[in-house]
C-alpha cells in the first residue's frame, strides 16, 4: 500500500463514560489516534463478494499499524463527519505493518 493511496484522515476513538461536576455520567469520545488511511466503500467487486461473512460491513479502511495501540472492535473510526463501528481488524499478511479494518457506517437517528 503506497502512502499516496492513504489520503483519508481518520480518527480512532473510544467512547468513555465521564462524570461531570454534578455527578452525572456522560459519554464522550476519547481520540486514541489521528492517522491517514486508505478508505474503500462497499462495492460489487470480487474482494467484497469474498467478504460475505461480514455482510454488514459497508467500508474498509487500511492503515499502518499504530505503535502501542491495539485496534479493537470496541473502537470507532471517525472519517468525513461519519462514524464507523469496527467489525473486524486483521493484520495484513501477519507482517505487523498494515491493518485492514472492516466497518459499518453508524446512521444517526433523526429523533429530536
Name the domain count of the chain: 1
Q: How far is CA 86 from CA 20, 90, 100, 103, 111, in A?
A: 28, 11, 11, 4, 24
Q: Is residue 91 part of a domain?
A: yes
Q: What domain range is 22 assigned to?
A: 8-106
Q: Is residue 40 part of a domain?
A: yes
Task: Tell me the C-alpha distance between 53 and 91, whole Å.
Answer: 18
Task: Tell me the C-alpha distance between 73 and 91, whole Å.
Answer: 14
pTM score, whole prediction: 0.76
Q: Is residue 77 part of a domain?
A: yes
Which pLDDT score, from 0 to 100, does residue 55 have? Answer: 66
Report the percentage of the chain scoring pLDDT > 70.
81
**Position 69 pLDDT exceeds 70:** yes
Q: Is residue 1 part of a domain?
A: no
**CATH assignment at residue 92:** 2.40.10.270
**Position 51 pLDDT exceeds 60:** no
Q: Is residue 111 part of a domain?
A: no
Amino acid at each position: 500500500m503506497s502512502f499516496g493511496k492513504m489520503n483519508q484522515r481518520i480518527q480512532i476513538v473510544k467512547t468513555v463514560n465521564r462524570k461531570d461536576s454534578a455527578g452525572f455520567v456522560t459519554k464522550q469520545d476519547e481520540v486514541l489516534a489521528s492517522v491517514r488511511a486508505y478508505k474503500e466503500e462497499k462495492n460489487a467487486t470480487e474482494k467484497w463478494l469474498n467478504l460475505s461473512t461480514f455482510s454488514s460491513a459497508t467500508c474498509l479502511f487500511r492503515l499502518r499499524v499504530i505503535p502501542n495501540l491495539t485496534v479493537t472492535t470496541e473502537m470507532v473510526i471517525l472519517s468525513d463527519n461519519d462514524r464507523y463501528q469496527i467489525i473486524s481488524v486483521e493484520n495484513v499478511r501477519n507482517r505487523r505493518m498494515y491493518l485492514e479494518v472492516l466497518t459499518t457506517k453508524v446512521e444517526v437517528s433523526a429523533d429530536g
